[in-house]
Structure 1
Amino acid sequence: MFRRTFWFGTGVAAGVWATTKVNRKLRRLTPESLAATAADKALEAGHRIKHRAVGFALDVRDNMARREAELGDALGINAPVPEHELPAPRRYAAIENHDTPRYVERPTYHSYNRNEDH
């Protein structure tokens, strides 16, 4: 009698375990679950790409600064200026001059289209 009770209990436990496993697997295969999984994987991929892009941008910026320094040294821009000789001042326009020919208003010519009147 004990043997039958043992095997009956074992069968019930195996059935519960198998039913639970199958139900979990079926829940993972629902459209909502598949969409959530795909969205999570897309977010993870986006974060990985962003991390790599930021690293690439930092590498580019470092190499750009190094190359600019090399070019500045080659052209003599970064060379020290003797104390008795000052560099020419750079001039920047604080306010744009609107009287220059570029800003003078020109008369506008309208072409006459006789079809506009009809």
Structure 2
Amino acid sequence: MFRRTFWFTSGVAAGVWATTKVNRKLKQLTPENLAVTAANKAIEAGGRLRDRAVDFALDVRDNMAQREAELGDALGLDAPADRELPPPRRYAAIENRNDPMPTSKYIDRTTYSYNRNEDH
């Protein structure tokens, strides 16, 4: 009699356990829960991607600063500027008559024609 009671109780416990497990899985597979799970995973993936992008950007910035310093040392850009500035450019005293766009300040550039074939 004790054996039958033991096996009956074991069967009932296994049945309750299996039923509970199946009901939980069915609740997880409802459309609402699937949408919530997908949204949560997308948010987590976005956070991981953002963290990696920030780390990458910081690495690029550090390496860029290091490389700029190396180039500055190699080209002598960090040396003190003891030199004088070059003299200013000299402009031609005569205008170029063949210039398609005259540089005179008295010519209205809004009405100036750019069509070279207009007079031919």
TM tier, smaller: 0.5 to 0.7
Residue number in structure 2 paired with 1:32? 32
Name the counterpart of 2:8: 8
For the pair shown, which has the larger CA radius of gyration, 1 or 2?
2
The aligned residue for residue 113 of structure 1 is none
Across the two proteins, how many residue pairs are aligned to each other? 88
The SS at the match of 2:77 is coil
* Unpaired runs of at least 5, structure 1: 89-105, 110-118
For 2:4 and 2:69, the matched residues in 1 are separated by 87
For residues 73-109 of structure 1, give each alpha carbon's deviation from its aligned partner in whole angstroms, at most 9, with x where no partner exists: 233220145xxx5887xxxxxxxxxxxxxxxxx9x99
What is the 5 A alignment of 1:1-118? 1-80=1-80, 85=82
Q: What's the offset of the Cα at 1:18?
A: 0.6
Measured on the aligned residues, the alpha-carbon RMSD in Å equals: 2.3
* Aligned-residue identity in percent: 74
Return closer, same or farther for 1:30/1:8 CA change in 2, 3 Å cut-off: same
With a CA cutoff of 8 Å and minimum separation of 6, indicate the structure with the bigger relative contact order: 2
Quote the offset at 1:24 in angstroms.
0.8
